Structures are given as structure tokens and as C-alpha cells.
Amino acid sequence: DTSLTEVNSFSPSVPISPSSMINQYKFEDEREIRDLFITVDDPESHITAIETFITYRVVTKTSRGEFDSSEYEVRRRYQDFLWLKSKLEEAHPTLIIPPLPEKFIMKGMVERFSDEFIETRRKALHKFLNRIADHPTLTFNEDFRIFLTAQAWELSSHKKQGPGLLSRMGQTVRAVASSVRGGVKNRPEMFTEMNDYMETFSQKISVLDKIAHRIYKEEKEYFNEMKEYGPIHTLWSASEEDIADSLKGVASCIDKCCKATEKRMAGLSENLLPILHEYVLYSEILMGVLKRRDQIQGELDSKVDALSSKKTEKDLFSEEIGKLEDKVECANNALKADWDRWKQNMQYDMRSTFTNVAENNLRYYEE
């Protein structure tokens, strides 16, 4: 099943190394417990008088009772994925929602409607949906189910039922107001540690992302020069009879090096760059989640302060504080559980990605 192989990066053609065995074991384990399989494929261009856009086919296979059928096939455009992400963030403000590829991936490096861009985006959208499907809470979100099953006109109708503009503005104003109030007084130590961890992680992953892009760029320049260098020796051999065989031999060697370098570049662009960039986006998402948790805590703190300074309305305030305490506890528990899960996934992804790069490099130098 392609949806499984892409999510787990397990390929039967890779020689069995310790890391490959870990991948295989996890892959086989997950196949038994999963009951929702999603594939994003078949990109299609649409040109209208107003805009040009791409839609992707989303195929869902499931054995879950809340779905009316066991298989669905719908077409979705990038805007629909953005809508889903915003609905998940709205419903679960302190859960870690997987990142979506930006509007324009690697701006300046690829054309927006080139095959390379479309394929890069398709893989990222595929991963986005499968990360949600694997999440113990997000997978049961009603908007997610509608996204997977509703026809285009039904989805469009469902989108219009969202909160009105004034309601959204109110939420934004409250969020800004609470973030302006300054640091949170009673933030538990655990969340301060998370914050520090994410600041360090964010710096390190950004540096790794830049280095990986630089390596890829240098490799590409080297590859382009080699492509020109090989044929020169073949041409040269035609005018030098005495050393023609040697020159042809050098040309053949350069050609082999060229092919090995191309394979190595493909490994970097398919396995390393997307994972690093995904975690650059994850670091931004996590900083946002921690900020939202702090805002809920800040709201509680301000109500507690207001209660101590006011003699009247104590009953009303006590009730509000009780609700806010529950809200803070729910937010804390949701983030704690998601944090452990995210860290485990991140460490697994990093370990398998870097091991994969190391194995590819070994094969490259052997060739």
C-alpha cells in the first residue's frame, strides 16, 4: 500500500541494515492496528478565467463504523487542505497539528506548476493527511471525516457554516490582548522546559535545513559540470589516436560518477530535505501551541487576580475560575500527551533519515 510505504519510508529494495530492520518491524506492526488508509495522488491542472490551480485525488479506505462506506474518492485543492488545518487548530488549540507545505515551496528554486513542484507538494499533502490519520485524537475529528468523504459542493457548503467574521475577529483580538499582557506568572516548570527545548531545537533544525540545501546546491553544480566534462573526453579521443582508449575510459568513468551523483541527489531531495523542512515548520507550530497554552493560563491568572481585588460578584467569578481551571488542565494534559508522542516520532524520523543518508553515501562512495 503506497500510503504506508511513503509514511514509513520503508523500501524492500534497501539492503537490510539495523535501521532498515527497525523500519520494517514498525511498518509490519502498524499495518495490523491501522483502520484508516489515505492516498493523495493524480494531480490535475484546472484553468479558469479567474485562476489556475491543481487538484489532487484523495482516496480513503477504512473499516471504521462512523464512515458510511469503506472507500471514498474525492478531489481536493490546496485551499481545502488549508481549511482543514485551520479547523483542526480551532478545535484543538493545544494539540500539535502536522504542518502543511507553504503556499510556494522553495520559492525561486522551482516553478509553481512544474512537475517537480507538484510532486513535492503531493508527497507533503499525503504525509499531512496520514499524520492526522495516525493521531489518536485528530483522526476522529468531524471536519477531517467530512474532508475525506464530502463531494466538492458538500464541502463548500460545510465551509460556509464556519464562525462568522465578527466571531473570528473577536478571537483574534482576545488572543492579541492576552499575549500583550506579558509573561505567564504561574506557568508550570514542565512547559518552561518545553519552551527552552523548542527554542534550541528550532535553531538547530534551521541550521541543518540550511546546510542540507547548501550541500544539495553544491552537488547539483558539481553534477552539471561533470555532465559537460564527460563528452569532452569522448570528443577529444576522436583526434588523439594514441590515447583514444584511455580518453574513452575516462569518459566512461565520469559517466558512471555522474549517474551515482544523480542518484545521491535524488536521495537528498526525497529523503533528507523534506524531513528537515517539515520539522522547521513543526518548530513554528510548537512555539504557537505553547503560546496558546500560555494564553489560556494567562486568562485564568487574570481572573484569579481580579477575584482577590473585588469584594462583590465572588460567586460569578468563582464559577468562571472553575471553568478556566478545567480548561487549563485539559490544555496541559493534551499538550503533555502530544509532546511525548511528537518527540518520539521526531527522534524516530531523524534517526531513520540520517541513517538513510549515511547508507546512501556509503553506496555512492562504493560505486
Inter-axis angle of helices 314-366 and 18-33, nearest 10: 130
The sign of the dihedral angle between the CA atoms of 192, 196, 202, 208 is negative
Quote the radius of gyration of the chain (alpha carbons, Å).
26
Residue 213 CB-density burial (10 A; 0-12 exposed, 13-18 middle, 19+ buried): middle
pLDDT by residue for the chain (367 residues), tens digit each? 444 444 444 444 444 444 443 444 344 344 457 889 999 999 888 887 777 889 999 999 999 888 889 999 999 999 999 999 999 999 999 999 999 987 654 444 445 667 888 888 999 999 999 999 999 999 999 999 999 999 888 888 888 876 544 344 445 445 544 444 456 677 889 999 999 999 999 999 999 999 999 999 999 999 999 999 989 999 999 999 899 999 999 999 999 999 999 999 999 998 899 999 999 999 999 999 999 999 988 888 887 777 776 655 666 667 778 888 888 899 999 999 999 999 999 999 999 999 999 999 999 999 8
Residue 282 CB-density burial (10 A; 0-12 exposed, 13-18 middle, 19+ buried): buried
Query: Which residues, 6 or more positions from 318, have their beta carbon under 8 angstroms from its beta carbon?
Result: 307
Give the separation between CA 260 and CA 242, rounded to whole angstroms: 30
The label of the residue with cell 483580538 reads: 173
Nearest to 317 by CA among 329, 299, 332: 299
List pLDDT tens digits, range 107-116: 444 456 678 8
Return the number of other C-beta atoms located less than 10 Å from residue 245's C-beta: 10
Nearest to 352 by CA among 20, 15, 2, 34: 20
* Main-chain phi, psi angles of 154, to 5 degrees: -70, -40
Do β-strands 52-62 and 36-47 pair in parallel, antiparallel, or remain unpaired? antiparallel
Chain-centre distance of CA 85, in angstroms? 11
- Terminal Cα distance for the chain, rounded: 31
Which own/partner contact pairs does 84-89 have at CB distance under 8 Å and 24+ positions apart? 84/143, 84/144, 84/147, 85/128, 87/141, 87/143, 87/162, 88/132, 88/138, 88/141, 88/143, 88/144
**Structural domains of the chain ordered from first start:** 36-152 (3.30.1520.10), 184-366 (1.20.1270.60)
Q: Which three cell numbers stand for residue 127?
A: 504525509
